[in-house]
Structure 1
Amino acid sequence: MRDAGLPVPLTDEGPTVHEVDLDDALTRNQLARAILTTATLDQVEAHSREICGYSEIDYERNKAAWLKDQPPAQLDPEAALSQLDQFEAEARSRGVTHTTFRRITEALNLNGSLREDLRQLLINSRPKQYDAPLWRITTATE
């Protein structure tokens, strides 16, 4: 199972672009150094598996294969909203203030093909939480 990662604070500093000297970046990043001389994506994947222990491309490839084997899905609005409440409570307890519709879709264990239906359901049922392009996790009192 993938780690959901650490919360990223949404601040005015978020859109700022920072420049880093290429030599400094390469000195600090073993994977970047290893892939400098690669010519194919297969070579990059092999280095990633060797250095990081995994390849993000493997994860996406496996997920796509799994989703392809799933039966066509229908969105159950009542169940989705109930599961959303639980997801939001857990996210709130970790200090999360915003999330993506992709993350909600995955957290609710829904087929990715339902993402747009879920997005419309959430926006229509709780429009104040839509903080385009993100979904705002409300506080318990909101």
Structure 2
Amino acid sequence: MTTPEVLFVCVHNAGRSQMAAALLHHHAQGRVTVRSAGSEPADAVDPAVVEVMAEIGLDLSREFPKPLTDDAVRAADVVVGMGCGDACPVYPGRRYLTWELPDPAGRPVEQVRPIRDEIDRRVRALLAELT
């Protein structure tokens, strides 16, 4: 059996997609290959996102936003769009999900925690489907 690959995509790859990738990587423990990317990558991961992830023991301090590439989409079995709009390329044979979630950019940690927790809930459900 091949290892499923999931790509999380948002505009800046500085918040939602970074949290989702870290959470799936953590919960999957090697059972899923995980990537994240942005259609317009920011310069750095949002500091509030780094902080709320550290609260649950996940270190994003060394992560950085990555550009969305056709190769990354082609390699993925599941592409989860998190606010990338029409910038997400579509290829046959991929499963596409859209997760409507607030953008954590510029929000205080008190407002980012519920976004993190909702992403965690969705990531766990996706993992249960994939494994």
**What's the TM-score bracket when you normalise by the shorter of the two chains?**
under 0.3
- TM-score, normalisation: structure 2: 0.23
In terms of fraction of residues, the more strand-rich structure is 2
- TM-score, normalisation: structure 1: 0.22
Larger radius of gyration: 1
